[in-house]
Structure 1
Amino acid sequence: MDAAAGRFVYLLGMLAVGVGARSLGLLDEHRRDRLNALAFYVVLPSLIFVSTYDRALATLLSPELVFGVFVVLFATVGLAWLIHRRRSRTDRRGVAVVQSYHSNLGYLGLPLVAATFGPDATATAGLLLGLVTLTQVPVTVWVLVTVADAEVSVLDQVRELVTNPVLIALALGIVVAWFGLGVPAAVVTPLSLVGELALPVALILVGSALELDQSIVDPTATASVVALKLCWMPLAAWLTFSTLGVDSAVFTASVFMLGMPTAVSTFVYATELGGDAEFASLNVFATTLASVGTSFVLILLLG
């Protein structure tokens, strides 16, 4: 209980640092972009590599894990479509569906797992990050294109996935682990130190991006997104992976990662593919703030 409360206070505190840094002008858009680039190209890849390179991935990357992720993800997509299908504004309909399942795995999920649940759960979380990203990004593009009838370059989307530094680091870690290749301590030690920055950097970035415009508030739609993303999705993961009988590390990482708030990247997709960008920003704000409480509950339950 004390450890979980400590994580809860730490999470709140770092989010507050991000909000304060933006409010005081210390973290303006230019500096936030540079910090984001540091996290995306250096910190997160370092964390993922050191979390996977020496793990028994054959036991972690199981058919049960892949099947369970697909069940939870597509069940949530289907349920979100049913709930939001009658919304009159098509630009909000697509965004609401997407933000009900598209999880913030890189900036919040993986760093929180690494800071809380131990090395095996962290290795599983790294695998989940790659598996879910490769699945939810194409689904998100398809949903937004279908609803908004936007034009999108499939080649550009594939290129972004292939050159994603997080996925490259995951692939490298899997190759090293699978073939039992040795990595010198002189390489692992600095990468581990850099990877420890993932959680505070991620929380500061998320906090600095939290903004609320009351003029575009749609309480019913936003409440539905929050309920699906932070209540239904981790519950579905809990039931699914309990039924599949996976080991404790896989169960813990899967439930926690799939219970993360809506990814900030959904705002970018909404902007590029004809969705309501302001509504998307509001939902990122709402799910991220609400996840402070739900993450605390999940840490208590999964402890």
Structure 2
Amino acid sequence: MEVLGRLLALLVLLLLGTGLRTTGVLNTQRTARLNAAAYYVALPALIFVSTYDQAIGDLLSLELLGGLLFVLFSTAGIAWVVHRGRSSTPRRSVAIVQSYHSNLGYLGLPLVAATFGADVTAIASVVLGVVTLTQLPLTIIILSTLNGADAAMSDELHRLATNPVLLALLAGLTIGSIGVTMPPVAATGLDVVGALALPLALLCVGASLQTSARSLELGAAGSVIALKIGCMPLLAWLVFSLLSVDSATFTATVVMLGTPTAVSTFVFATELGGDEEFASLNVFLTTLVSIGTLFVLITLVS
């Protein structure tokens, strides 16, 4: 019941964000400020306090790295086959990337931190880093290739290198690996700031969710939902069971890869010639349906 209560609270925050946007309270400028607070302050703080006291060798293993890459590329490959028959190339490109591109930062990591212990949260931070470094370039390549868009890969790589979430992960792992002791006051302060990551992120996601009846195509949208929050976590469950990883790694990977499609895929679709209305619809639907599927996943792994 506690897990269900948490997930229902997530749904309330999502709907609150949507309602605040609809009423004009969260306009574009205010949403951008809220997003900046989550992206540049709260999420980096959460990641840093989750990793600063652990060495990288204790968190990142060959099994974790290999398993994550296998699940990600396998899901992308399945999505390519499933969506190959879409008549519209912009819609096909969006369907492919949204079938594997996970909302790890704004939903996955904060949810794990709020639900599980420090050991699972630390592994989830590493999962975020590894998958982000992989899925972001893959998404740009697929969208730009299929849609014939001119993507400035150097600019995207520069953004990736200066990503505050990844920099916080690197800083935390570095400090943990060399054994530097953090002052208790600083650690406590960052922990308080990090606790704001989930509510801030959910309000931002809710304020960003938009859909239109014109973009509704049940077959395509249903396939994206099935692959992203059905196939991907199931594949993660099978792979990491076969790898016989510890319980913290298993829990972190299954829950993180069971998150819905990232809101950023809508941005990339808009910039790189994808079907932006369809992209917005899929973000909305996968986020909504994932409230139920994440409850099942968290209950099972717990």
TM class by smaller structure: over 0.9
TM-score, reference length from structure 2: 0.98
Please report how far the alpha carbon of residue 274 of structure 1 lies from its aligned counterpart in structure 2 after TM superposition.
Answer: 1.0
- AA matched with 1:235: L
Alpha-carbon shift at residue 56 of structure 1 (Å): 4.1
2: CA distance, partners of 1:29 / 1:36 = 10
The aligned residue for residue 104 of structure 1 is: 103
**Paired position in structure 2 for 1:33:** 32
Q: Which residue does 2:182 correspond to in 1? A: 183
Give the drift of 1:237.
Answer: 0.2
TM-score normalised by the chain length of structure 1: 0.98
> In structure 1, what is the equivalent of residue 7 of structure 2?
8
Task: Say which is worse superposed, 20-29 or 251-260, in terms of deviation.
Answer: 20-29
Q: Which residue of 2 aligns with 1:24?
A: 23
Deviations 1:253-297 (A, max 9, x none): 000000000000001111111111111111101101111111111
Separation in 2, partners of 1:250, 1:171: 19
Take 1:40 and 1:128, find their aligned partners in 2: how far apart are those partners? 17
- Per the TM alignment, residue 210 of structure 1 is displaced from its structure 2 partner at its CA by 2.0
Shift of 1:190: 1.1
Percent of residue pairs identical: 57
Pick which of 117-126 and 202-211 moved more: 202-211
Task: Work out the CA distance in 2 between the residues paired with 1:209 and 1:154.
Answer: 25
Whether the 8 Å contact between 1:55 and 1:120 is mirrored in structure 2 is no
Q: CA deviation at 1:16?
A: 2.3
Deviation of residue 57 (structure 1)? 3.3
Question: Can you list the C-alpha shifts for 1:41-65, whole angstroms capped at 9, x where unaligned?
Answer: 0010000000000124312210000
Aligned length: 302
Map of 2:200 onto structure 1:
201
Q: How far apart, in 2, do the equivalents of 1:101 and 1:284 lie?
A: 12
- The residue type paired with residue 105 of structure 2 is G
Q: In the TM superposition, what are the counterparts of 1:252-291 in structure 2 within 5 Å?
A: 252-291=251-290
**Corresponding residue number in structure 1 for 2:122:** 123
Q: Hey, what's the Cα distance between the residues in 2 that align with 1:44 and 1:72?
A: 25
CA distance in 1, matches of 2:8, 2:282: 23
Q: How far off its partner does 1:245 sit?
A: 0.4
Please name the residue that 2:49 is paired with. Answer: 50
1:294 — aligned with what? 293
Shift, 1:24, TM fit: 2.3
Measure, in 1, the Cα distance between the counterparts of 2:209 and 2:144.
Answer: 26
Unpaired runs of at least 5, structure 2? none
> Deviations for 1:134-153, whole angstroms, at most 9, x for unmatched residues?
00001101111111111111
The one-letter code of the counterpart of 1:91 is P
8 Å CA contact retained: 1:7, 1:296: no
> Hey, what's the Cα distance between the residues in 2 that align with 1:276 and 1:211?
14
For 1:231 and 1:190, how far apart are their aligned partners in 2? 37
Q: Deviations over 1:186-209 (max 9, x none)?
A: 221111100000111111111122
1:143 aligns to 2:142 (yes or no): yes
Residues 199-228 of structure 1: per-residue CA shift (max 9 Å, x gap): 111111111222221011111100000000
How far apart, CA to CA, are the structure 2 residues paired with 1:5 and 1:140? 32
**Matches of residues 77-92 of structure 1 in structure 2 within 5 Å?**
77-92=76-91
Which residue in the other structure is 2:67 paired with? 68
CA distance in 2, matches of 1:154, 1:16: 35
Which deviates more from structure 2 when the two are superposed, residues 24-33 or residues 240-249? Answer: 24-33
Moved more, 11-20 or 148-157: 11-20
| Structure-to-structure mapping, 1:198-277, within 5 angstroms | 198-277=197-276
d(CA) in 1 for partners of 2:15 and 2:217?
Answer: 25
**How far apart, CA to CA, are the structure 1 residues paired with 2:204 and 2:252?**
23
Alpha-carbon RMSD: 0.9
Letter of the 1:13 partner, please give it. Answer: V
